[in-house]
Amino acid sequence: MTQAWNIVVMRGGPSAEREVSLRSGESVANALRRLGHHVTEIDPRPCQWMLPDHTDVVFLALHGTYGEDGAVQGELEHLGVPYTGCGVEASRIAFDKVLTKNRCAATGVPVAKSLVVDSPETPWPKRWEPPVVLKPVRQGSSVGLQFVERVEQWPAALQEAFKHDSQVLVEPKIIGAECTVAILGGKILPVVEVRPRSGNYDYQSKYTKGATEYLCPAPFNAELTARIQAAAEGAFSAIGGRDYARVDIMVRQDGEPVVLEVNTLPGMTETSLMPKAAAAAGMSYEYLCQRIVELAMARAVASAR
């Protein structure tokens, strides 16, 4: 490292993903300190935080509402302070699963059919057959995710999903391989295949030790790997992404990739999926954190010219 920066790591925040964010931010802050940077940690609430004097850049390790939805990005833009990751508009789009699907579909990126439900009293949709997946439109980390295997499960599952947002996305449950693709500075990282032992990659499977097996690089042939990575790159471009993100994808049994969502501030604990992909590409965790900061600083230097 040639230069030490004053870096603020934002972690925690008010969202349902607070605990995960605290762990992400702690890992990032420790890595940046090991690299010799001056690091301050802030647990922000909307309009209730201040940056230290001489802050060079903010590393966003927030997840969910007031993290990935463009809100804190907008406040940092107003302050004129560089920050890591996607900008305001890309964050807003990616955090909304419906907007993301619309952008992807408009640019030819493969997505599943879907409908949006606006009331927890909505009856089972006509011309649909189980199994289906219910997703709060604006949440992450599988918060509120519900799998409906039989029609009689629909009312209870819908009530649970609506605890987390005012709209719920309904999609057919895709049978196939679940994977994720990280993008860093224009580089597509190796595909990670996710194999939850329960069969469903829900919140419990994500955050219970030993509940999920991860294979990276994923054991797909070169042709399928290229199609998966192309779908991820297409989704990242469709939402107007920059610097880095992680794209979640299902691969149907016939080999067709289907984009699920774009995570603009993916988990950053040392065992999270993006660091796993980076490690498979030969990057240390410290290098990954440093590279994310460098991308933000390079943008700031370019805009100052």
**Choice among 85, 248, 272, 285 that is catalytic:** 248
Left if phi > 0, otherwise alpha if psi is -120 to 50, otherwise beta: which for 73? alpha
How far apart are alpha carbons 5 and 83 in whole angstroms? 13
Clarify whether 142 is annotated catalytic: no
Supply the pLDDT for residue 76: 97
Q: Can you name the residues that pair with 115 across neighbouring β-strands? A: 170
User: Among candidates 146, 236, 121, which has minimal Cα distance to 183?
Assistant: 236
State the pLDDT confidence band at 210, using cuts at 50, 70 and 90: confident
Supply the pLDDT for residue 43: 97
Domain that holds residue 213: 93-110+175-264
124 and 48 share a domain?
no
**Choice among 242, 246, 272, 285 that is catalytic:** 246
Supply the pLDDT for residue 203: 59
Clarify whether 263 is annotated catalytic: yes
Supply the pLDDT for residue 206: 64
104 and 218 share a domain?
yes
State the pLDDT confidence band at 112, using cuts at 50, 70 and 90: very high
Supply the pLDDT for residue 189: 98
Whether 75 shows a pLDDT value over 70: the answer reads yes
Clarify whether 141 is annotated catalytic: yes
Clarify whether 36 is annotated catalytic: no
Residue-wise pLDDT tens digits, 46-69? 888 999 999 999 999 999 999 999
Give one DSSP letter per residue of 59-99, joined into a string.
Answer: EE---STTTTSSHHHHHHHHHT--BSS--HHHHHHHHSHHH
Clarify whether 45 is annotated catalytic: no
Give the residue carrying structure tokens 């955090």: 95
Residue-wise pLDDT tens digits, 162-207? 999 999 999 999 999 999 999 999 999 999 999 988 766 655 656 6
Clarify whether 89 is annotated catalytic: no
149 and 81 share a domain?
no
Residues above pLDDT 70, as percent of the chain: 95
pTM attached to this predicted model? 0.93
28 and 127 share a domain?
no
Clarify whether 207 is annotated catalytic: yes
Final residue of a domain: which of 131, 155, 172? 172
20 and 119 share a domain?
no
How far apart are alpha carbons 99 and 118 in whole angstroms? 15
Supply the pLDDT for residue 142: 73
How far apart are alpha carbons 116 and 114 in whole angstroms? 7
Number of structural domains (the chain) is 3
209 and 253 share a domain?
yes
**Choice among 27, 142, 263, 272 that is catalytic:** 263
Give the residue carrying structure tokens 């789009």: 93
Look at residue 276 and tell me if it is in a domain.
Answer: no
**Choice among 11, 12, 13, 17 that is catalytic:** 17
Q: Mean per-residue pLDDT for 23-35?
A: 97
Clarify whether 17 is annotated catalytic: yes
Q: Are 276 and 190 in contact (CB under 8 A)?
A: no
221 and 101 share a domain?
yes
How far apart are alpha carbons 241 and 45 in whole angstroms? 25
How far apart are alpha carbons 24 and 275 in whole angstroms? 11
**Higher-pLDDT residue of 304, 184:** 184
- CATH number of the domain within which 185 lies: 3.30.470.20
